Structure 1
Amino acid sequence: MQEILQYLKANGEQLDADIAAGTGVSLKNVRQLLTELSAKGDVIMCRTTRYTNGKPVEGMLCRASGYIPPASPGRKPKPAQSSPIPESLNPPLRQSRQSSAKK
C-alpha cells in the first residue's frame, strides 16, 4: 500500500492502469489496494470512462488525499501582505468644511 501512496505523491493523479505499470503490481491487486486506501481516506478515487480510438476504457482515477505537491520551479513568490499605513503618515486629502469655517 505504501508503494502506491508514494507513487501517487511522486506522480500526482493517475489511472489505475498507470499505477500498475509504474509500480509493477498487477492491475487486480492495484484496484484492490486502491479500494482499501480509499476506504481509509488515504486516497481520493473516482471511476472514469475514457475513450481511446472510439473504444470505452473504464478505470479508476486516483490521487493522494490531502497531499499538496511542492511548488514547481520558476514560480514567482507570493506577494507579501502589506501593512496598512498609519493615519499620521497618511493625512486626509481635503480638510472638512467645519474646520475651515472655524478659522
Structure 2
Amino acid sequence: MSVDQVLNHLKKHGQLLDLEIASATGLAIDQVRKSLADLTSRGEISQCSVTHFNGDKRIDGFQCRISGYVPPVAPGRKAGPTKDGASD
C-alpha cells in the first residue's frame, strides 16, 4: 500500500526528497525509504543520496523522481545556427 502511495505522490508532484514525501503522505520516514528502495529495485524510480545543512545540522536523505522522465521543452525561442553557418 505505501509503495503505491509513494509512487503516486512522485507521479503527481515530480522530483522530491524522501523527507518531503514522508511529510506530505503522513508515512513514517523508514516506511518511505523502504518503499523507495522497492521502487528503485523495480526500476520505476531513480534516486540519489543528498546531504543538506541547516546551520550546523547535517540532514541526509534521498532525492527521487520517476525513471525515464524528461521534462518538457521550455517555451520560447531556441538558439539555432546562423543563416550563413558562421558562429560569433
Q: Same fold (TM over 0.5)?
A: yes
Aligned to 2:26: 24
SS at match of 2:27: coil
Aligned residues: 76
Q: What is the identity, as a one-letter code, of the residue corresponding to 1:52?
A: N
Which structure carries more relative contact order (alpha carbon 8 Å, separation 6+)? 2
Q: Would you identify which runs of 4 or more consecutive aligned residues in structure 1 move more than 2 Å?
A: 67-72, 75-78
Q: What is the identity, as a one-letter code, of the residue corresponding to 1:54?
A: D
State how 1:1-103 maps to structure 2 within 5 Å: 1-68=3-70, 75-76=75-76
Percent identity, please: 36
Alpha-carbon distance in 1 for matches of 2:77, 2:42: 35
TM, length-normalised to structure 1: 0.64
SS at match of 2:60: strand
Unaligned runs of 5+ in 1: 79-103
**Cα offset, 1:59, TM superposition:** 0.5
CA gap of 1:76–1:41, structure 2 versus 1, over 3 A, is same
CA gap of 1:69–1:10, structure 2 versus 1, over 3 A, is farther
SS at match of 1:49: strand
Larger Rg: 1
Alignment RMSD: 1.9
Unaligned runs of 5+ in 2: 79-88
CA gap of 1:39–1:32, structure 2 versus 1, over 3 A, is same
CA gap of 1:69–1:6, structure 2 versus 1, over 3 A, is farther
Alpha-carbon distance in 2 for matches of 1:6, 1:68: 17
